[in-house]
Amino acid sequence: MDIVKQYLVQCISSAANNLRLNSQKIEIVAMLRDIIVKSNDLDDDIRLMKKITELSTLAIRLTEIYSYLSQPQIDLFKFSDKIKEHSSLLIKDMSHMLDVVSPETFKHAIEKIRPPVVEENKIIAFPAIEPMSNSIRVDLSKRKPDVDIFVKPENEIIKEKIIMEEENENEDLFFQNYESEILKPIKLIDSLLKQISSNEINEDEIDRWAKLMKTNGDLSARIGFEIIANMHRILSRAFTMIGSKELVPKPDVIESMRASLIVIVAVIKGKEVDITNYLNRAEEFGRKIQILN
């Protein structure tokens, strides 16, 4: 996913995180993210959204953000501040949109932009929604292409989970649990990196953390937190390669992995600090180990 789509998806997810979402609204947010991610011409799709009454206000705001991202040069030192600003501006527009549409009316509205695909005289449902869940401990494996017709759709599972929640639980508990679950292992991993740098390597422990980073990365990607997801992927790959002796845990490797941790914490907690250097270092490290792998 390119940086413009990542930025927009991050803003949408962050704005949604500040709203009280029921099952239908969660479904609509998932579809909106899906439209952004799968767009072949984002500028044109947003322009068409402005012509749809239910989406026009939100589309105007997305146009403003897109225009900012389309500048020849962007001040990276202000990047984290801008994404917070844009996310805050989206909250009111998203809230309005979510109040006036249902999943069905949203689908019909979006079909004006991207008509349903007809294949072998059968209309394929639109849009394809990536599975989400209101519980952190979920199976994140992809569904097989040949799905049994009696298997419940993912959106139905979402609805049932939310309906069956205890009455005293907040509807936004999912996002609170997400942040808690992502932050919980950070200090332990930081300690592990110090042990590794001292040549104290426990292969079983490293493998366990590699799997957890992959799980948390997959979850972050499904919610739309692409930057956080990428940092987890980098850590997972690095741990796996250290465990298999493909990567020597030299000081620069350890510091690059710590940079990934710092980015995760800064983004989740919304720290008012410039993380450009950490982000650049982590992403550069990710590219290097991708080549090695």
Instruction: For residue range 34-57, list pLDDT tens digits in order.
Output: 888 888 888 888 888 888 888 888
Compute the distance between CA of residue 193 and CA of residue 253 in angstroms, rounded to an integer: 10
Q: Which residue segment(s) compose the domain that 23 sits in?
A: 3-132+144-163
Given a cut of 80, is residue 117 above it in pLDDT?
A: no
Residues 104 and 210 in one domain: no
Instruction: Give me the pLDDT at residue 154, please.
Output: 52
| Least reliable range by pLDDT among 61-65, 96-100, 127-131, 259-263 | 127-131
Compute the distance between CA of residue 265 and CA of residue 184 in angstroms, rounded to an integer: 10
Residues 108 and 50 in one domain: yes
In a domain, 30, yes or no: yes
Q: Which of the two residues, 139 and 261, has the higher pLDDT score?
A: 261
Q: Which residue type occupies 253? A: V
Answer whether 264's CB lies under 8 Å from 231's CB: yes
Number of domains within the chain: 2
Compute the distance between CA of residue 82 and CA of residue 274 in angstroms, rounded to an integer: 11
Residues 154 and 260 in one domain: no
Answer whether 240's CB lies under 8 Å from 210's CB: yes
Given a cut of 90, is residue 225 above it in pLDDT?
A: no
Q: Which of the two residues, 232 and 24, has the higher pLDDT score?
A: 232
Tell me the pLDDT tens digit for each residue of 75-110.
766 777 788 888 888 888 888 888 888 888 888 888
In a domain, 169, yes or no: no
Residues 244 and 278 in one domain: yes
